[in-house]
Amino acid sequence: MKRKETLLNIRPINGLTVDEIGDEHISTSLETPLREDAFDLGDDIKIELIQKHFREIMQILGLDLSDDSLKGTPKRVAKMFVKEIFSGLNPKNKPKARLFENKYKYNQMLVEKDITVFSNCEHHFVPIIGKAHVAYISSGKVIGLSKINRIVQYYAKRPQVQERLTMQIGNELKELLQTNDVAVLIDAEHLCVSSRGIQDTTSSTVTSYYSGKFENEDTRKEFLAYVYNK
């Protein structure tokens, strides 16, 4: 397969250049920005190319790749990028969730809380670590509990901003569960804030998504009471 080359897009975003954007928290779309040819290359080729380029980055930094501890790092990083922490970019990895009839006629909210979120900031490629809390009210269909965790992890395993991640999870659950009654809350620490820049190690970011019955204040309060044990 012939490799496609893409020129670096240096056009301003929202009227700002890349340097002017700096640490600003900018998200351009609900969809993760992907090129049309994003999956023309297979995983093995991507790993080979990333390995090559990451080796060059390490050499530019002045690291000695002949050292036993470092010589395998380019391949390890390449495999990690493609197979693990950015595996959510590939729609082939999207979890398949089977719907079941709500035979118990349970018509109250179901809350899955404290779901581990481990993502990476798309601005600096450093971790976003936190918890997601998800709830829905069945319209007649239910899914296995672990599928909710898998959906959260699928969208987290890509370069992200937290606002987009929250909405992607909410929209996916609405479509999958065939209900408008969905809530998502994410509370996470951004290492681009704590490990660089301002280096604030005590702050966290909270984002939420409410639709259907969760737009009602009482329903939303009930959800938050479960999340925060109040």
Q: Which amino acid is at 17?
A: T
pTM of the model: 0.87
Active centre residues (catalytic) = 121-124, 162, 190, 192
User: Tens of pLDDT along 146-183?
Assistant: 999 999 999 999 999 999 999 999 999 999 999 999 99
User: Tens of pLDDT along 40-96?
Assistant: 999 999 999 999 999 999 999 999 999 999 999 999 999 999 999 999 999 999 999
User: Tens of pLDDT along 111-139?
Assistant: 999 999 999 999 999 999 999 999 999 99
pLDDT at position 7 is 37
pLDDT at position 9 is 40
Give me the domains of the chain, ranges plus CATH numbers.
Answer: 18-85 (1.10.286.10), 100-228 (3.30.1130.10)
Rounded alpha-carbon distances, angstroms, from residue 184 to 41, 56, 75: 34, 41, 36
Task: Compute CA 175 distance to the chain's CA centroid, rounded to the nearest angstrom.
Answer: 18
- Give the confidence band of 97 by pLDDT, cuts at 50, 70, 90: confident
Q: Which amino acid is at 173?
A: L
